[in-house]
Structure 1
């Protein structure tokens, strides 16, 4: 990658100067030949190469991958043990309990195991921990509840890898335990820098993050691991695995909702799952899409991430995750409509709570010494603990730093963290585990609990330990290519859809154009928060543009560069020409049957 020029991009956000580096990708390849081979434009081939897709075989899988290209779940470490044990328990009609998690991944993983095992005739039920009362993952109370109900076997999903003591307790009481998870394996770090991984003493531990697991793709969510187990069980019991293909829609929802990279297998799961979701036979999912105004013909990963997913998560945040699972299990439209409405209402309430908490957090950062820290540790004792992760994510976006948001819990403090690419959150928490009661997670997200009096010590230690540089803390705007407006055609925009689904690990392409002339503009939208523009580039191609960003900040930047009357000049189409470098994504505006090309401006300088 190389910078577009030596200057970084400076903008102002609420009085804070924010610096971003604009970086242009330069990845080589014979794009003309690749274009001919796959029937696409050389530009589109270059965009695919920018996503680290190398060689014809990888290009073919990226563009044309299907269910047949998914890997065999039996390649996972201990999958054979899990299948043998569960097959035996199903045949013997022993009672099996699935213990999931309260987030979108855990709920869908629980549903997948429940549906799959019921389809094989298993005696199976489920339990999901309460976020406030039980906390994350397997605990002694959950095992005791299972013992009281005469449960023979526990199967975890989206949790369990860190529950060594709890699983040892269950085993000591005569239970069989199968762990399915995708989180990092806890470890001890020795003086020589090596690690000793702490695998729980279950009968089978199926976790792709195990160092001794040779599965070729390590990026699956918990629901995908659960799906692989169900698929393997169907094979082992002489049933057609295609009978459970429909559960791929749940894998897709969990993959996007848990913010997994949309690469390799995940790309196939989400691509196939979205197509299934468009014609879903699940009354609950159909009701939720209807309730939230999602049109199935235009369904995309965006709708899962920002419309459907938050509603599923809302149950576990403000009420109980059982409500979301009941929605997935609903058999009638009446029941599904009622549950979908409840979840939407909960999510609306969650949004209000989040806005209040974010405002409080920003005030705390701006008015204290926190602002100087490289790693933000924000304590909001009155914040509902279920939204700590969302607040942390919003602060990470604002300050481009790793953020931990902690709230007051029944015992001590607990919370969530959201990270940036250059900071491995789980590893850094591991270096502070002497201060923590419990923790777990990934590179980019983590959960933790600790005594309230140790919060300041955690903040100090995290910041003392970090080796992040100023460059690490400077947000990069990664640009795929510079593209003149005259190159944007309806056919090219349609071809870009071949790169979908977009999301983490497979982001929408970002295009750039220098010295774009802003000829005139107007503020539109119900809340007057969208800027519609007419722009012209150096080749004298004109096009409509739209900007959904912070208009107050945009007009402030305009005034600093072009004077206090710049806003009026733009809105009334008069005065000095306004030139800006922009990054954008091209699209088609279909309004009342009239289709016109337009660009969506993503960033500017």
Structure 2
């Protein structure tokens, strides 16, 4: 079971509440997100696009704009080379549409996950050269493509890198030497000497900043305002899909993007909402991250991401709906395949003696390599351990890893790097290639060097406010909307109620994956509380704690015996014209 902790960061919540016209409870939640200074709180609650940072603060921006102006004026052919995930697709769209509008001769290329792998490769450089391309612009990749960019330079091409990933380095005697590619200009907020105030932007935001700076120089900013707004919508979409922290400038971008997307002029986005049955008026970061974004990502996983770019660039409504339907179908297929292999992975862990391993290495030879990361994430959630899922590729074995808070995946992999033919990543996620004969050796060695303790592998639930459900009101739930959009870095607040009485339960949903409870608060008021997901683990837990008869009475609506402590989030549920308060359970014990 996860350990629960109350987050108790101190501040004058009454004063913050009075200053910003919010309740002390809301002030406490904001403080728990480490938003402390008055200006930070103002920006968090009331920030607008006027609070976005000047693109000119990015290193090499002036040089980039200068090169682009020259290429546009001489009609030199430019090729934008993106990536096959949602951030790479949106980045490519932003640069392509933005450059075409500025008068450039530009086209696009997106690597194929299986044939090309991630980012720029020699084949893409050769292809650009054979096509008579003068200038390559990378987006959401390129910072680690030193040999490929050297090749492009040797062939006489101009290269601009726009990226947001970490700059590669070599370490000797504890000193790091960073390796920048030999491009004509490199824009990446993470490079040394970059003055950009917020480093956590995605590739599409970097691409947007390039277009914003170019349009300023062309003095097109006011004239092209609707286009820049459409491009910023795409940057917001990518920020959510790439799981960037929704803080600082990212929060401003996503708030703006969501409000504009509700009435977007982009036929592709409209079609994605339509085929997924999303009510435009209620569009949230959740819909982008878990419904629409996966449809774009599915093309890069199971087909070609070129289809996703076509969707975003499509101007005919009927054709956009047709492509969006194909993408949804592809994503549904991806979900089915994922579910099959998640079950296989669980069997592998529980039947092959892997439960005692602190780091799970699961080999699913027949699984599509593009699903490995999603499956690793699901297994990590189930067991709360670092997980690597490996699949058989055309050349050896490929895999993806997903980590837990106490385990720096990239650094741990570096300790057994002699086993890999290729690897990369960061603290929470990684990718790797190795020979099939080394799969079991990798499992053994990554566990031998592991220093995780039992407490490291206990999930921690941080409670924002221990608050009896009797304190929840319509006004309070409306006020919580000020904290949106929720996501990485700005999670939904966690409230907790100790020893809540459960009166009745009913399983709902066509797949039986939800339970509706009636609970009794400390003031003897009845509430509806929903729990989503497989009901079996919770039923098992209650049977062990209260006995089978008590659980049977609960489902018959005759219970007075079951009292559980819960974490929850309050919401408003409107059904058939009736609006009422509803609680959504997150954890129980």
TM-score, structure 1 as length reference: 0.94
Partner in structure 2 of residue 236 of structure 1: 217
Are residues 461 and 183 of structure 1, via their aligned partners in 2, closer, same or farther at CA, if it must alter by over 3 Å? farther
Once the two structures are superposed, what CA deviation does each residue of 1:373-423 show, in whole Å capped at 9, x if it has no partner?
222222211111111111111111111122222211111122222222222
Are residues 288 and 365 of structure 1, via their aligned partners in 2, closer, same or farther at CA, if it must alter by over 3 Å? same
Are residues 464 and 72 of structure 1, via their aligned partners in 2, closer, same or farther at CA, if it must alter by over 3 Å? farther
CA positional deviation for 1:435? 3.1
8 Å Cα contact 1:184/1:441 also seen in 2: no
**Helix, strand or coil at the partner of 2:406:** coil
- Tell me, in whole angstroms, the C-alpha distance in 1 between the residues paired with 2:107 and 2:542: 60
Structure 1 gaps, min length 5 = 1-18
Partner in structure 1 of residue 388 of structure 2: 404
8 Å Cα contact 2:421/2:434 also seen in 1: yes
Are residues 422 and 77 of structure 1, via their aligned partners in 2, closer, same or farther at CA, if it must alter by over 3 Å? farther
2:181 equivalent among 171, 196, 200 = 200
CA positional deviation for 1:112? 0.6
1:70 equivalent among 52, 60, 63 = 52
Partner in structure 2 of residue 30 of structure 1: 12
Partner in structure 2 of residue 8 of structure 1: none
Structure 2 gaps, min length 5 = none
**Helix, strand or coil at the partner of 1:565:** helix
CA positional deviation for 1:554? 0.9
8 Å Cα contact 2:164/2:188 also seen in 1: yes
Are residues 43 and 271 of structure 1, via their aligned partners in 2, closer, same or farther at CA, if it must alter by over 3 Å? same
- Tell me, in whole angstroms, the C-alpha distance in 1 between the residues paired with 2:559 and 2:82: 62
- Tell me, in whole angstroms, the C-alpha distance in 2 between the residues paired with 1:550 and 1:596: 25
CA positional deviation for 1:524? 2.2
1:317 equivalent among 284, 292, 301 = 301
- Tell me, in whole angstroms, the C-alpha distance in 1 between the residues paired with 2:215 and 2:13: 43
1:82 and 2:64 aligned? yes
Are residues 463 and 73 of structure 1, via their aligned partners in 2, closer, same or farther at CA, if it must alter by over 3 Å? farther
- Residues 233-272 of structure 1 correspond to what in structure 2 (within 5 A)? 233-240=214-221, 242=225, 243-272=227-256
**Helix, strand or coil at the partner of 1:196:** strand
1:117 and 2:99 aligned? yes
**Helix, strand or coil at the partner of 1:131:** coil
Once the two structures are superposed, what CA deviation does each residue of 1:98-122 show, in whole Å capped at 9, x if it has no partner?
1110011110010011011111111
**Aligned residue pairs: how many?**
586
CA positional deviation for 1:369? 3.8
Where does structure 1 differ by over 6 angstroms across 4 or more consecutive aligned residues?
none
- Residues 195-594 of structure 1 correspond to what in structure 2 (within 5 A)? 195-240=176-221, 242=225, 243-574=227-558, 576-594=560-578
Are residues 523 and 57 of structure 1, via their aligned partners in 2, closer, same or farther at CA, if it must alter by over 3 Å? same
8 Å Cα contact 2:504/2:559 also seen in 1: no
8 Å Cα contact 1:183/1:441 also seen in 2: no
Computed over aligned residues only, the root mean square deviation of the Cα atoms, in angstroms, reads 1.6
8 Å Cα contact 2:52/2:249 also seen in 1: yes
CA positional deviation for 1:535? 0.9
**Helix, strand or coil at the partner of 1:89:** helix
- Tell me, in whole angstroms, the C-alpha distance in 1 between the residues paired with 2:360 and 2:196: 35
CA positional deviation for 1:431? 4.0
CA positional deviation for 1:447? 2.4
Partner in structure 2 of residue 132 of structure 1: 114
CA positional deviation for 1:195? 1.5
- Tell me, in whole angstroms, the C-alpha distance in 2 between the residues paired with 1:399 and 1:172: 50
CA positional deviation for 1:575? 5.0
**Helix, strand or coil at the partner of 1:521:** strand
- Tell me, in whole angstroms, the C-alpha distance in 2 between the residues paired with 1:80 and 1:412: 44
8 Å Cα contact 2:82/2:139 also seen in 1: yes
8 Å Cα contact 2:230/2:266 also seen in 1: no
8 Å Cα contact 2:233/2:257 also seen in 1: yes
- Tell me, in whole angstroms, the C-alpha distance in 1 between the residues paired with 2:182 and 2:361: 34
8 Å Cα contact 1:520/1:573 also seen in 2: yes
